[in-house]
Chains A and B, each alone.
Chain A
Amino acid sequence: MVKFIRMIDMERCIGCRACVAACYTENYHTSGAPWNAVIEHEIGTYPNTGLAYMPINCMHCEDPPCKKVCDDMGAHAISKNEFGVVLIDYEKCDGCKYCAAVCPYGVPQYNETMMELYPGKGRTPYENVSDTDRHPTHRKKPKVMEKCTFCWHKLEKAVADGKTDRIGRDPEYTPSCDVVCPVNARLFGDIEDPNSAVAKGIGAKKATQIKKEYGTRPQVYYALVGGDF
């Protein structure tokens, strides 16, 4: 079985936020509900200081607390599919924000209003793309939760085309944030394939998950610098 994993190499990350921009463009970003962010950590003591950049997106945990609370609430809006991708169904989400309350990584975002990208200047053609022309994960609504989907619309296409072996190598089938990284700090692919770049990278870089004490078993690994965050 294919299980998608991401590895982020903080030693290589330069904090350029190309991954954030790519995510915004790919996933019909709405202001106030980012799916991807880069957090800066100051490390060391003066004068021996430095900055560590930590890109954060959904960890697609193997035991996602967001799904547990959503199911307990009876909304059943959050699912985890057979490829390990955690998705929110906007039609089922009632915007209770319970998922945001329990996520140790601060991932789920509440979309309060569908703000224009350029307030007061009208909607751009990009924002005017109709729901029928969008993937279900991009049919955004106000008053519901949103989060990173691992670019499920691309992974789904790879599965449909029978080209899961191209995931992580072919831009058409790889999450956009991982495609655009100019310093190759991001790897994405199948952890079950010992020859995949991401599987090799995790071993070579001794990458690990963050906040493991929560027992959520994230599917995003970090080659950490500056200690555990």
Chain B
Amino acid sequence: MTRMLTFLVVAAAAITIAACDTTGEQAMVPGAKYSMNVEDGRFHNIHATGQKLACETCHAGTEYQPDFVTLSKYADDGGASPGIVDRAACLGCHKAGGIATAWYGGRATR
């Protein structure tokens, strides 16, 4: 019985740690953990890999096939590679009062 309880406690702890790591909420340090080079896919690393956001969240107006992320890079993507998102798209979430870290519109400390 004791061994069973110990196993359950350890398993629960492992699942919790794995969940935090998967969502990236604890470990998200853009710039330090992720390269900020466009060539390295900085925004994809942060928003798609880290935050698990759908492509359309930033690339609004672009239609993606359900299997888009598993397509070969040589396959016809149907025009779903719109390039770098206009920074105005960032404003939707990153303004003061938005759902993401408020880079815009908040008060800066001196």
**Chain A residues with CB below 8 A from B87, complex form:** 104
Number of residues in A with C-beta < 8 Å to the partner? 27
Knowing A96-B36, A98-B36, A104-B87 touch, does A72 contact B105 (C-beta < 8 A)? Answer: no
CB distance from B109 to the nearest CB of A (A): 7
CB distance from B50 to the nearest CB of A (A): 14
State the CA gap A97–B39 with chains docked (Å): 13
Residue A214 contacts which of B29, B37, B101, B104 (CB distance < 8 angstroms)?
Answer: B104
**Residues B42 and A101 in contact, CB atoms below 8 Å apart:** yes
CB distance from A173 to the nearest CB of B (A): 23
**Residues A73 and B32 in contact, CB atoms below 8 Å apart:** yes
**Residues B104 and A67 in contact, CB atoms below 8 Å apart:** no
CB distance from A214 to the nearest CB of B (A): 5
- B61 near A: Cβ within 8 Å? no
**Residues A68 and B36 in contact, CB atoms below 8 Å apart:** no
CB distance from A78 to the nearest CB of B (A): 9
**Chain A residues with CB below 8 A from B91, complex form:** 213-214
Number of residues in B with C-beta < 8 Å to the partner? 25
- B59 near A: Cβ within 8 Å? no
**Residues A63 and B107 in contact, CB atoms below 8 Å apart:** yes
- B73 near A: Cβ within 8 Å? no
- A102 near B: Cβ within 8 Å? yes
Contact with A along B69-110 (1 / 0, CB 8 A): 000000000000000000110110011100001111111111
Main secondary structure of the interface of B (DSSP, over half): loop
CB distance from A39 to the nearest CB of B (A): 15
Residue B108 contacts which of A73, A80, A101, A104 (CB distance < 8 angstroms)?
Answer: A80
User: Which residue of chain A has the shortest Cβ distance to B96 in the bound complex?
Assistant: A215
**Chain A residues with CB below 8 A from B108, complex form:** 61-64, 67-68, 80
User: Which residue of chain B has the shortest Cβ distance to A61 in the bound complex?
Assistant: B108
**Chain B residues with CB below 8 A from A101, complex form:** 36, 42-43
- A219 near B: Cβ within 8 Å? no
Among A22-79, those with CB < 8 Å from B are 61-65, 67-69, 71-74, 79
Knowing A72-B101, A214-B91 touch, does A98 contact B31 (C-beta < 8 A)? Answer: yes
Between A and B, 26 residue pairs with Cβ closer than 8 Å are A63-B105, A63-B106, A64-B108, A65-B104, A67-B108, A68-B103, A73-B29, A79-B110, A80-B108, A81-B110, A82-B110, A96-B31, A97-B31, A97-B37, A100-B36, A101-B36, A101-B42, A102-B94, A102-B103, A104-B87, A213-B88, A214-B91, A214-B95, A214-B104, A215-B105, A215-B106
* Given A73-B30, A74-B32, 13 additional A-B pairs, CB 8 A: A61-B108, A65-B103, A81-B110, A96-B36, A97-B31, A97-B37, A102-B103, A102-B104, A104-B87, A213-B88, A214-B95, A215-B105, A216-B104
Q: Which residues of B contact A (CB under 8 A)?
A: 29-32, 36-37, 42-43, 87-88, 90-91, 94-96, 101-110
